Amino acid sequence: MRIARPLRLLEFRPGSLAPIIAILAVLLVLLTARQPDFLSPPSLMSFLGRSAPIILLAAGQYFVIVSGELDLSVGSLVTAQVVIAARLIDGDPSAGWPVVVLLLAFGIAVGLVNGLVTTRLRVPSFITTLGMFLILVGAVYLWSNGAPKGSLSEEFRRLGRSGFEDVPALGRIPYALVILLAAAVLALVLTRSDFGRTLVAVGGNPRTAELSGVRVWRAKTMAFVLSGVAATLAAILIGGYSGVSFQAGAGLEFGAITAAVLGGVALGGGRGSVVGAMLGALTLETLFTLMNFYGLSGALKPTVQGAIILFAVAAASFRFPSR
Amino acid sequence: MSGALSLSARRTPPGVFVALVLTLAIGWLIVTVDGGRLFSLQTTVSLLHVAAGLGLVAVGQTLVIVGGSLDLSVAYVVSLSTLVAAETMAGDDGALLPGIGLTLAVSSAIGLVNGLLVTTARINPFIATVGVGLLLKGYLDNGYDGPAGKAAPALVQGLGYQRIGPVPLSFLLLLAVAAAAWLVLARTRFGHHLIAVGGDPEVARLSGVRNNRVLVTAHVLCALCAGLAGVYLASRLGAGAPRVGTEGLYDLESIAAVVLGGTALAGGRGGVVGTVGGVLLLASIDAIFNQLEVDVFFKQVIRGVIIIAAVAVYARRAMRKAS
């Protein structure tokens, strides 16, 4: 019995994508029941564009989590990047691309530090990235004396808020969505590469991986770097879409981690798929949109989010007992 | 068996106390050169007050971490507890005991939910307690814009500001709670079981330990401690404060204190004595920075570096011991 090629995606980790797809489908049905034109191209495109940052973060978090670690610094990294971008650009239209390159370098550097401290100094990543969180938040406040300075140029913000206009059938395609798709393809290729498989092996059983000649520290450090890059891309989109604030990245780390777990990525490492993580993020965003349409108070958002997460993860763990 | 267990209780490394003495000595020197006084009555009292609040949370956190679990909902439990206490008391001394009783009942109930989610529903503790934290956050955000209720005057005068010499009553409360927790861990059957469950759940289960019951109890005790911290903060502020727990970073700082105290994040090793040392260390750093009038944001950066560095030192020593 040969399984047809397209099914490979679902077969990759048996069953792990089924729960999240089911939840997403239910939420989408509820959404269209309330707002029939939600699935029309314009609104769907703008929804996907808006969800791009958290989906990117969830993909980055996947690499770290599947390798058996955790990155609690991504939210603060997003905030830091947005504040840095505003201060460096300071309204200067020509500063756009150089700043993007600089942000990427900074994101990679933060990922490297997280990774090396975790793997070489053997500090648990929970503590490493929590320390990085404190350092980044403190540093951006310190650097800007408590209020963000400068402003983002229109050119820089275009990535987050504009798109290809007048595309046949779809209307407007946000640049954010294009970036997301490119990143998703890249992430998928990475997970299928030797590196991706090594990472899963490292997370599943570091000792065995070590003994079979894998340089565990290098794989894990790469994962942190990828998470830093994902956070940088997310920051560029968020800065473009919603502008500069110290709250730009607040709480995103928990959002990304819960999205990944919701999508079947096991905390502790070794199990899950990057597609699952991204679908998990999409599901969370769908949930928030649904709540908006049903007029739920914004303050109640966390309560519903918490309840859904608990319910979904509990349901998933009943079906797939921990290894 | 008792040999191994008393070892794990005694193994609480004195390292954190060496660090504490060094920090205080160096801090005293710098502060003195700077023209200030580190051990003035006022500084000492405020140091001990800071330690009392964080310490109550951290002692509870130690119990769950030793058991191989984690509680990230404590910050919200602290906030909620200040409100339950202050609103029940409503400034009336007659309602003091009912207020405290209700607060502790509510917080233990939350701990029970945490414990059941982790054990019976088999949700990863990180996700379970973040989920419960989100539920509480939603309730707090939705119901409160600012301080509410009024703590009983007797509570404010007693637990809030009463002291014996330079030692606040609240710090004595912390010592009492820590001593009780130490006794529980080192001398009771429950404590031995908890350490066993944290060390290797499967072995513990096969040796007849009721893992679930033990972990649920640990979660209830942890939340109870957070509730107690809430009562204490209500006594300091004179009112309920819906955001005091999260603004104080009690979730992350309590975990940092536990880890600084030499308790392994993976569970099975460590103790309350080290945690108290970790709390005193964090509080001392705070006091030194306050004396030097260091920028709050810079303080946060340094704090992040210190936490990472301290844990790295531990990891090195553990590695050397192992080899």
Distance from CA of B127 to the nearest CA of A (A): 7
Residue A154 burial (CB count, 10 A): 13
Preferred mutation among A129, A134, A257 to probe B, highest tally of B CBs within 10 A: A134
Contact B78, B229 (CB under 8 A): yes
Residue A142 burial (CB count, 10 A): 16
Alpha carbon distance B299, B284 (integer Å): 12
Nearest to A306 among B131, B255, B297 (CB): B131
Q: Is there a domain that residue B29 lies in?
A: no
Whether A130 and B307 lie within 8 Å, measured CB to CB: yes
Q: What pLDDT was estimated at residue B203?
A: 93
pLDDT in tens, B178-193: 999 999 999 999 999 9
The yes-or-no verdict on residue A323 having pLDDT over 50 is no
Chain B CB contacts of A317 under 8 Å are 121-123
Q: What pLDDT was estimated at residue B320?
A: 66
The yes-or-no verdict on residue A313 having pLDDT over 50 is yes
Chain B CB contacts of A299 under 8 Å are 138, 141-142
Rounded to an integer, the average pLDDT of A193-222 is 91
Rounded to an integer, the average pLDDT of A305-312 is 80
The yes-or-no verdict on residue A233 having pLDDT over 70 is yes
Listed by number, the residues of chain A in 134-163 with a beta carbon closer than 8 Å to a beta carbon of chain B are: 134-135, 137-139, 141-142, 146
Contact A171, A41 (CB under 8 A): yes
Q: What pLDDT was estimated at residue A230?
A: 96
Give the burial class of B158: count Cβ atoms within 10 A of its Cβ; 0-12 exposed, 13-18 middle, 19 or more buried.
middle
Q: What pLDDT was estimated at residue A322?
A: 42
Q: Is there a domain that residue B140 lies in?
A: yes
Measured in whole angstroms, how far is the alpha carbon of residue B235 from the centre of its chain? 17
Q: What percent of chain A has pLDDT over 90?
A: 40
Chain A CB contacts of B141 under 8 Å are 299-300, 302
DSSP A5: G
Q: In sequence order, what are the residues at sequence separation of 6 or more whose Cβ sits closer than 8 angstroms to the Cβ of residue A280?
A: A20, A58, A258, A259, A260, A261, A262, A263, A264, A265
Q: What pLDDT was estimated at residue B323?
A: 53
The yes-or-no verdict on residue A310 having pLDDT over 90 is no
Q: What pLDDT was estimated at residue B6?
A: 42
Contact A232, A110 (CB under 8 A): no
Distance from CA of A296 to the nearest CA of B (A): 11
Q: What pLDDT was estimated at residue B68?
A: 93
Taking alpha carbons only, the member of B247, B189, B323 closest to residue B54 is B247
Chain A CB contacts of B139 under 8 Å are 303
Alpha carbon distance A73, A50 (integer Å): 22
Looking at per-residue pLDDT, the higher value among A314 and B34 belongs to B34
The yes-or-no verdict on residue A320 having pLDDT over 60 is no
Taking alpha carbons only, the member of A221, A61, A248 closest to residue A157 is A248
Whether A306 and B135 lie within 8 Å, measured CB to CB: yes
Q: What pLDDT was estimated at residue B13?
A: 58
Sketch the domain layout of chain A as residue ranges: 53-288
Mean of the per-residue pLDDT values for chain A? 85
| Domain that includes residue B65, residue range | 37-317
Whether B139 and A303 lie within 8 Å, measured CB to CB: yes
pLDDT in tens, B123-175: 889 889 999 999 999 999 988 988 999 999 999 999 999 999 889 999 999 99
Number of domains in chain B: 1
- What is the residue type of A225? V
Alpha carbon distance B323, B321 (integer Å): 6
The stretches in chain B having pLDDT less than 50 are 1-10
Taking alpha carbons only, the member of B68, B110, B40 closest to residue B102 is B110
Alpha carbon distance A94, B150 (integer Å): 56
Q: What pLDDT was estimated at residue A4?
A: 44
Chain A CB contacts of B308 under 8 Å are 117, 121, 123, 127-128, 131-132
Looking at per-residue pLDDT, the higher value among A56 and B124 belongs to A56
Chain A CB contacts of B319 under 8 Å are 122
Alpha carbon distance A54, A308 (integer Å): 17
The yes-or-no verdict on residue A161 having pLDDT over 60 is yes
- B-side interface with A, Cβ within 8 Å? 117, 121-124, 126-128, 130-135, 137-139, 141-142, 252, 255-256, 259, 265-266, 295-305, 307-308, 311-312, 315-316, 318-319
Whether B307 and A261 lie within 8 Å, measured CB to CB: no
Q: What pLDDT was estimated at residue B9?
A: 45
Per-residue confidence at A282, pLDDT binned at 50, 70, 90? Answer: very high
Q: What pLDDT was estimated at residue A166?
A: 77
pLDDT in tens, A115-148: 999 999 988 898 899 899 989 988 988 888 777 7
Q: Is there a domain that residue B17 lies in?
A: no
Chain A CB contacts of B305 under 8 Å are 131, 135
The yes-or-no verdict on residue A10 having pLDDT over 60 is no
Whether B316 and A121 lie within 8 Å, measured CB to CB: yes
Chain B CB contacts of A307 under 8 Å are 131, 135
Q: Is there a domain that residue B6 lies in?
A: no
Q: What pLDDT was estimated at residue B135?
A: 93
The string over B2-35, giving b where at least 16 C-beta atoms fall within 10 Å of a residue's C-beta and e elsewhere, is: eeebeebbeebbebbbebbeebbeebbeebeeee
pLDDT in tens, A36-50: 888 888 888 889 999
CATH value at residue B59: 1.10.3470
